[in-house]
Amino acid sequence: MQTISRKLPNNFSLAMNHHKYGLKQISYPEDLPLLHKWMHTEHVIPQWQMNKPKLELEVMFEKMLVDDHQRLYFIMIDDRPIGYVEIYECHRDRLNRYYESDENDMGIHLLLGELDVLGLGHFRPVLTLFAQFIFSSNPDTQKMICEPDCEVVPFQRAAPDLGLVEQKKFQLPEKKASLYFLSRDDFRQSPCYQKYL
């Protein structure tokens, strides 16, 4: 079955802010050492809680890579992997229990793994990359969804510049989350779209 996720391109890139930002599909098993390293870094552990033994992570990622409601990508800056994102179909995800989703809504889970890229102005271009990728890859998708932890301050600060609108706060088993919607129209009118695209 050709799901929305399976139709997404394996690679994507944009030139923004004097850098090349991109997405590159995760490959198993060669990419697991880097994912294992990031899951065990001090700034990632509190949000992701995935600091598990290598074998346990291998089993988890192997299952995720064959799950046809999502795609896993490295986030690239100037051809260097600096983070990881899961792009998923909200209607077929647990998130569907927390809001009335459309079958074409797409969501993201974001991890910036490399400390040396934090605080350098990359966050807004990276979010812009995701939105442009999702909306350009599927013309039927009218909404991108984010559900970060309520305590992630950089996301709260960046959200208005992208056109993301908070809908509500809600409790997930592992975190108190904020539900954000980004419509295709709001993205095209956003400061980030005007600046970068």
What tens digit of pLDDT does each residue of 94-106 get? Answer: 999 999 999 999 9
Number of domains in the chain: 1
With beta carbons less than 8 A apart as the criterion, state whether 89 and 140 touch.
Answer: no
DSSP class per residue in 126-139: HHHHHHHHHHHH-T
Rounded to two decimals, what is the model's pTM?
0.96
Q: What confidence tens digit (pLDDT) does each residue in 19-53 have? A: 999 999 999 899 999 999 999 999 999 889 999 99
pLDDT of 1 higher than 70: no
Q: At 130, which CATH number?
A: 3.40.630.30
Domain that holds residue 47: 5-196
